[in-house]
Structure 1
Amino acid sequence: MRRPIRGREEQMQRKIVSLKPGVPYSKYEKEIQQQGGKIIEHLPLINALLCEFPANRSVEVAGILSNNPHINRVDDDLPIKIINFFNPYFFFPIRKKETPKQMKQQIGWGVKRINCEDFLTVNPKRRVRVAVIDTGIQADHPDLRDNIKGGINITGNPADISDPNGHGTHVAGIIGALNNEIGIVGVMPKIDLYAVKVFNSKGEGSLTDIIRGLQWCINNRIKLINMSFGSPVDNPTFKEVFKKAYQSGLIMVAAAGNDAVEHKMQYPAIYPETIAVTSLNERNSISNFSSFGQGVDFIAPGDQILSTWNNGGYKVQSGTSMAAPHVTGAIAQILNKWGDLTPDQVKQHLKLTAQRLSLRPEYQGAGLIDVAKALKTDPKVSRYYSMVASYYGLS
């Protein structure tokens, strides 16, 4: 639960009040005020209200409002964090190093491992629009700037998409760093990247920040989003958010989590509406920090990945946060080659063309993504095999 906000006389706590359809949300304002609360904003993605209530009555008020026939439920505005190895919440000690700001371009081991090396000079048939929901992006980075097309800052000045943390810039580079003569090259070097900044400099945000970010993506015709963030807990509102986003046609790639102790997957990666990704190391084994479980869809390189950093240079990072953007970039390649596909069609195509590794299913899902095979195999074939498998009860 988000920390209570201190006012002049009392502490306030934020709740998400989910409404039933058909009644204007303005009609709830009086009842909410009667309970000592106030409406902060309407959240159209899930037809809900973000409200503040006195902290010492928040549980009581939630019970009262839940009995209203026009209200579905009242849930906490959960805290959400980026999934990063140096974040104490998902901590795992891994060597860090910075490299010179300008160096001769190299192709990372991750790009090679997913069989993308031969497709880095592809001229796009269409510029795929990809959002990085994260800490922002350094838009003037010399290895990114031609691909950064805009974005939104949910945490403050809407126009300020800069990255005070570095996490979002690192993720963006894995997806779409330029194919030039410096630094690194992303999985899809010709792409339209949008920074959806929902986390502060410490990598902290909330469920409503995520809701606002997803709504912006829908409103701005974003097709594909990378989500290298998570929470160990969820609630019904959290689940509904991703169902609605999925129904809108968003393809959502999620990092599984870096739970180095119990290896429990994080939300939203657990949800079937997302594409959940675990981390592979250079030895073709699951990274020892990676979360895993029955909900895993794919495995991708996430160990010791060199990418862009927010000082204009480059840095090595490890985590499922680095694995997810390899899949996001691969999907961008697929959408460029094969055109508009639904989230289900994309997932099925990736499953059919993935490389099965000598790992347990809960570690790898369908396996390691294979860009070369995904670009050479027509998705119509994937859909055919999917229908056959479904008919015979094999899917």
Structure 2
Amino acid sequence: MQRNDVRRQAMGLGETVRLGFLFGAIYFIQGISDPNTGLLSQPDNSLLRDWGKNTRQVATFAALLGLPWCLKPLFGLLSDFVPLGRYRRKSYLIATSLTALAGFAALYLTPLGEGDERPLLGWLMLASLGIIFCDVVVDALMIETSQPLGITGRLQSVQWAAIHTGTILTGVVGGILSEKRLQKAGFLICSVLMAATFLLALLFIDETPRPPTRNWRGSLRKLKQTLKSPAVRVVGLLAFVWSFNPFTQSVLYMHMTEALDYSEDFYGKTVSLIAVGSLAACIAYAIYCPRVPMRSLVHLSIVAGVASSWVYWYLPDPKAAVAVSVVSGFCYMTGSMVLVDLAARACPLDAPGTLFAVFMALCNLGAAAGTWCGGALYHLGRSWGSVASFDALVFIAGATTAACWLFVPWLPKQLLGLAEGPERA
């Protein structure tokens, strides 16, 4: 009996490692291909700036591009309750990777000139929708695998480490593409990567075929009850407020390349340095998260979030900008890891894709709103001078993150005291 138990544990560990590598590969590609934060982010901003757009307009473009992330709950419902063909996950991964591939390929083949913001936004949104749906499906697979084993934090660390490994590359390459005005090459690279995701889904996702959920109405009623639970509401509110940060990459890009006159190449390198700090935070979180209770981690996430913004007061010196980028990336990702871990622990196993998508949609809604507000505030405040406007925005960003402490007392005690294992709302 003991030998059989050991064998089952070894098989479970092997499956978790296999899925970890699979998730890592898909998230590595997502980290590069995501139009909002990946390889195309800086080249797109550079293209818009060349077309004469100001900081507010560039930030508005980024906010609009981020809005499709708010559709994640809809994609979660489809993946959880409406199989495509005979599968809940595999078929959707194949279809969504092809959708993203189509969006990037269209941009590569379509001539773009000044004033073509709409086709640029439209095709990027199509690609973004495919990547977002893919993200939802992989998140659901992650929760189904990791929550029963109590390893949500570690597997989240693997996924986010893969994303930021990709981002390290995108910062350097994105800076080169921007400097040399090679946006088309970026669209081609992303097309090839989404083709790789298609092959991964087709060949390496092993899923048992299943019929459509017969009692889907009962499942939806249960999901509705879950959404009304205090744990879900408070975690969702905390996710929104933590993500509502007016200090965004769009503002940072415009401030560094215009007000501080840093080169596109230098800015791209700082993006890679942010990713280096983020990668270090992911690795560190995988080590200490099983040993530290969630109540302490939540407070750590808020402190880290405030620090990730306020450290940019030291940006104007180029040498300091290098250290600022690494520290900011480490602090911001530390807070983010706690947040996604908390959200994953609060998800019920009968609809993990949907509920986790709700939490992440609230994060993305908060981020999109913060992006728009940050661009508008920075633009309005430039009458004081670019540096004064930037410093004021940095202060506001830290203050909004600190407001998360108002909601911590409302988090369920059981969830806060959980060091490892699932918390079912």
Is the TM value for this pair above 0.5?
Answer: no
TM-score tier after normalising by the smaller chain length: under 0.3
Structure with the larger strand share: 1
TM-score, length-scaled by structure 2: 0.23
Q: Which protein is richer in helix relative to its size? A: 2
Higher relative contact order (CA 8 A, sep 6+): 2
